[in-house]
Structure 1
């Protein structure tokens, strides 16, 4: 049975048998950084039109729309569109294009979704839809011409970008700077120091290429042809000397960076670091001595009130600030929403050391084009992201607009920032940033920051700098890392049952980076030199592939049922015992380091580690109790809903597909057709969607990598690769009759099994229904 249970192990927990079905396994949670970069752009375009692919003009319009917003999702089925929209995050911001007739039907259902911010009725006869459209406030326009639609969306994009920019404006109170740092100041300081880290090569090595960013785009949009084309274009045309061009020309790269800066997205800013450094270099090269500029800015009543209450304080712009040398014309016509007010920002800037750079766009572009003449009186001045301004004047005009005068300042104006930057520059201690994130109550960002450092720092340095705990902080402290031991779990994800997965997730959340989890043994480097003792929890196969030098310095615990393969002291024949052993070892080493810290006089760390050690087994006991409470004895609900899905090109007119939909529509629960592999995949793996799926894919038009992904979805029972033009192949069905036969045969077996399961539960009504479906299918098989 493996290593004997320690005295600290949870008592009275019934162990699952070692042959627990792997179908109950839960995936190891995504890392925080993966979750943070799921959406690359601020806006998404969605277009619903029953004939969207029947018109060449629509395809041309799609391409042009993607020049403004890369992520465009199209639908020709209202129900699918409705489901997709309802499952989007409320944080998304969607521009929705719909025909007049479809709009009548779908807007009553989706209009009030928070994610939808603008709606466009695109139809041949706008006059037919004016009356009913008045009931929907999010409708921006009713349009019949493509050019008008493009112009309207571009205007609205600029308008909504301006509103989003207001969310990236922060106020810093001008209070006694010697006081203990409060939440407001720590939130300001960590971002300023993080920008310092990103823009300097003295802390971590400068990125030599954009490879990491391109890998991220591939990870999240590997099936999206437009993003793949974007990568190809970028690789061919990007030049660091033209970084400003990429920033000002509404490129996807600019949209990625704008969103990342506005939301202070640590992961994306690490991946976009090369772009930030290139822009920063150009701004420094063309730094202006002074500037007097203007900007129109929409602000909410909350923004207005904050500035009114802090008239002698400071404003910080998270992102790049675009301004004009000429005062803009403005009126209340610029505002489409009564919750926003118009503010004319006037900025005075004289460059001094310690200031973020600012430069004229026209000079940079003209210099790059070998043309120093600039006859345009109106020039665009860009201020580097993170610029700080002193509020000089804030007053209301007679027409409910506002004037805001600002003056650019340097670090020396804020001693608290200057001191922190000097400390960072002298010590190179990056844990200062992690500590500030902790103290600003942003633990998740602190984890993400540490996760990236572990990848970027040299292997002979601590992957995650220890976080110092100030006694006065009110933020809930993050568990201290073990100084002398590194726990590694790898190659176990496919063996985890529900209980073991929940235990592992709990242990990871409690122990910070002291426990590293990998899906595959190939994901971690066993040759990495480390001063820490390593405890590896893995399978026999993975452990055997590690290097001898790694085995000599590591203690290995192995999941293996065969007693002849592994030494008894190392072997565990079921996953739960192995995870219990992991908990025991974590307890042991946290207690050992607590005693060591206590001897060295670090009572704070000693107390925290001892408390954590004592919580480990009690938390696992809670996990067991929660799972036991939420688990239905040994008879889970039978899912009898069965869906038939076809993934095929829009123009595929193969009659076999149409015939099969007709034959089976009254037998299966649902029949769906998809043309886009990504949409199909998203529909099947939607959390609320649990039907058993039989999927036919016409593989002529889809990548093998896309098809393979479907086979890993738990609710996809059968996947049929169909290609009538293919030669005989064991994996591909090329004969329509064979396709129908195999599909019908598998459905008969499926419904027979369901009938038998219902019989065993004495549920005769449902059993009869399943057997009748199987009988209908038998008749179809015989008749055809």
Structure 2
């Protein structure tokens, strides 16, 4: 494995928060929960500066560290860790801006002084995205509705890719029970993380204790499963996806099971039931333009799609716009997804409250792989783009076209 590949897998982002009042206020507890979502649980909190410095210097040397520090500790701690190459950014989070301004000076790594949590969370979200390879971007395919009566041979390249990828995922799920798929997946994970002791322990745990009912926990926790699977889905790496086929199938089946339970629970009102979920994301200008050109078309999410019932949390994940007009510049996007006409034949999704690693902190709603949506509109609202999607009802018709 090349050095570049090793770094992509091992140099993850973590947030370290040093403050003597972290556990003492409700507001700090809420902030802590939101920070954990930004980095999928990779949050370390300290109320002792010596312990914090020791942990940063010994345990986090292979991570990208984003440090939040209070007025009380910042003046003494920052000089001791500032020059460490893996310190990406430092945030002064305090109740008195004038005091912070009296001892801070303009430095490249000091990202700002913050009195309120919302600006802090937005800044950290932007900074994490800017220095990291995206683990959570939005791989998608476009299907042109005007071609829905065409044979597969007459589809455009975009629509053909849409259908091809759906058929690939269907075949992978059908093949899940053949061969030693779990053994193949574990061998691949061990090869990728052969020099990472922490992940090797997690792989051992997975091998010994995994069961299908724990699929949600393993997917929502920060570990090798989430990172390798999402990267394979994002890059359409067929070899890796084939090795992960049993886990993809287990996760789909668990989503489907929770979805059917949801339908049964709401049976009396399901025909009139409307659900709205959100997803906040920074997209490149190129990706945003693709969505603009896809209004009234279908898009298929080529991964498991994580959304939330909490609009404010989604807005934090949406970050803020890059002012550049370069194609790669990042745009703040809020996906607003409406779900109507639910039935056991439509795309399944699962409410993960009490089922995920994060328990009920995120109000996460997870759509199964390759869910299809119709793009209703793409509109700019102040400094954020709103992309309105509707869960499509053509899922089964397209599946029949493939069979």
Q: Same fold (TM over 0.5)?
A: yes
| Structure 2 CA distance for partners of 1:207 and 1:382, relative to 1, 3 Å | farther
Please, which of 219, 238, 248 is the counterpart of residue 191 of structure 2? 219
In the other structure, the counterpart of 2:42 is: none
What is the 5 A alignment of 1:25-424? Answer: 38=5, 44-45=11-12, 57-58=52-53, 60-61=55-56, 73=62, 119-121=88-90, 130-133=105-108, 140=111, 157=128, 165-177=136-148, 178=150, 180-201=154-175, 205-206=177-178, 210-287=182-259, 288-289=262-263, 292-298=275-281, 299-328=283-312, 330=315, 334-335=319-320, 337-338=322-323, 339-352=330-343, 355-362=346-353, 364=355, 379-398=363-382, 400-414=384-398, 418-419=400-401, 421-422=402-403
Q: 2: distance between equivalents of 1:361 and 1:46?
A: 24
TM-score normalized by the length of structure 1: 0.35
1:192 shift after superposition: 0.8
Q: Deviations over 1:520-546 (max 9, x none)?
A: xxxxxxxxxxxxxxxxxxxxxxxxxxx
| Structure 2 CA distance for partners of 1:315 and 1:360, relative to 1, 3 Å | same
| Structure 2 CA distance for partners of 1:355 and 1:127, relative to 1, 3 Å | farther
Q: 2: distance between equivalents of 1:166 and 1:131?
A: 32
1:363 shift after superposition: 6.5
Alpha-carbon contact 2:255-2:350 (below 8 Å) kept: yes
Unaligned runs of 5+ in 2: 15-49, 68-77, 93-99, 115-119, 264-269, 324-329
TM-score normalized by the length of structure 2: 0.63
Q: 2: distance between equivalents of 1:127 and 1:104?
A: 21
1:359 shift after superposition: 1.8
Alpha-carbon contact 2:280-2:317 (below 8 Å) kept: no
Q: Deviations over 1:694-731 (max 9, x none)?
A: xxxxxxxxxxxxxxxxxxxxxxxxxxxxxxxxxxxxxx
| Structure 2 CA distance for partners of 1:405 and 1:129, relative to 1, 3 Å | same
Q: 2: distance between equivalents of 1:333 and 1:193?
A: 31
Q: Select the structure of larger CA radius of gyration.
A: 1
In the other structure, the counterpart of 1:546 is: none
Unaligned runs of 5+ in 1: 1-33, 48-54, 66-71, 75-93, 107-115, 144-148, 367-373, 423-784
Q: What SS is found at the alignment partner of 2:162?
A: helix
In the other structure, the counterpart of 1:522 is: none
Looking at both structures, which has the greater relative contact order when contacts are Cα pairs under 8 Å and sequence separation is at least 6? 2
| Structure 2 CA distance for partners of 1:228 and 1:387, relative to 1, 3 Å | same
Q: Deviations over 1:128-178 (max 9, x none)?
A: 774242xx7xx64699xxxxx999978965898996644413333323242
Q: What SS is found at the alignment partner of 2:353?
A: helix
Q: 2: distance between equivalents of 1:332 and 1:353?
A: 31
| Structure 2 CA distance for partners of 1:154 and 1:395, relative to 1, 3 Å | closer
Q: 1: distance between equivalents of 2:202 and 2:121?
A: 20
